[in-house]
Amino acid sequence: MADLNEFITVEDAAGERIDRFLADELSDRSRSFLQKLIKEQDVKVNDKPVKTSYRLVLGDLVSIHFPEPEKPDIAAEDIPLDILYEDGDIIVVNKPKQMVVHPAPGHYSGTLVNALLYHCRDNLSGINGELRPGIVHRIDMDTTGSLVVCKNDTAHQSLSAQLKEHSIHRVYEAVVHGRFKEDKGRIDSPVGRHPTERKKMSTQTKNGRAAVTHYEVLERFDEFT
C-alpha cells in the first residue's frame, strides 16, 4: 500500500505556501517532487485538492498520498567506515559530514546504508525495510556523530523502545558562542519550528516538543565555551 501522512497546521505555519510547508516538514523529499504530488492531486487540504500557491489557514488538515515507490536495487559499496564499536547485535559508527544515512530519491548510492551492506553483508535488521536496513535513528547529512545500527530485529526492537521512552543517555560535545555563568546547569525549553525560518528549529514556538539538556562546562575561551 502507498503511504499516507497527515499534518494539522499550527499557528506559526498559517499563511505559508503549501509546497514550502511540505518541503520543510518532509526534509527528505525535494520541493519539486512535492509540487508534482500537489499538481497530481495527491495532496489535499481539508479533503480538497489545492494548487501549489495555496496558503495555509490555521486548523487546515493536510493529507498526502505517496504513490507506491519503485524499489531500487540498493548496492553494497566498499566505503570506509569509522567504527567505534561492534558486536553480534549492533554496530556503532561515526557518520561523517556530507554522508546521507539511508537511500532516498536523489541519493541511492554513497549512503551509510550502502557502506553497511558491504561491511555487514546480510547481518542487518529488516524492520525498517529495504531502504533502511538496521537504521533506528538518523542525523542530517551535514551533521557528524555516532549512530547505533542494529544487526537483528531483536536488537532493533529493544533500541527503538529505549528511544521512545527516553531511557538512553546521550552525550554531545559542542563549542557554544557566548559565556556560561554557571559551570553546570539544566535547560528545559520546548523546541519546535522557527516561526519564520521554517527549516530551523527554535525555542520561540508555541507548539514545541519537550526538550531537556543538562550541560557541564569543559573549557572556557574569550567569546566561546
CA angle 21/212/9 to nearest 5° reads: 20
- Which residues are the active-site residues? 140
Per-residue pLDDT at 1: 45
What is the three-class DSSP state of 67?
coil
Q: Which amino acid does the sequence have at 78?
A: D
CA distances from 67 to 1, 4, 33, 154, 187 (A): 8, 9, 12, 31, 42
Instruction: With a cut of 70, list the residues of the chain below it in pLDDT.
Output: 1-11, 27-28, 68-72, 198-199
pLDDT in tens, 132-162: 899 998 888 888 899 999 999 999 999 989 9
Query: 101: closest CA among 54, 45, 145?
Result: 145
Task: Give the tens place of pLDDT for each residue, 161-177.
Answer: 998 888 888 888 889 99
**141 within 8 A of 99, measured Cβ to Cβ:** yes
| pTM over 0.85, yes/no | no
| Domains, the chain | 3-66 (3.10.290.10), 83-164 (3.30.2350.10), 171-225 (no CATH)
**E strands, 101-221, in order:** 145-150, 184-188, 192-193, 201-202, 212-216
| Contacting residues for 211 by C-beta, under 8 A, at least 6 apart | 187, 188, 189, 190, 191
Enclosing H/E stretch for 201: strand 201-202
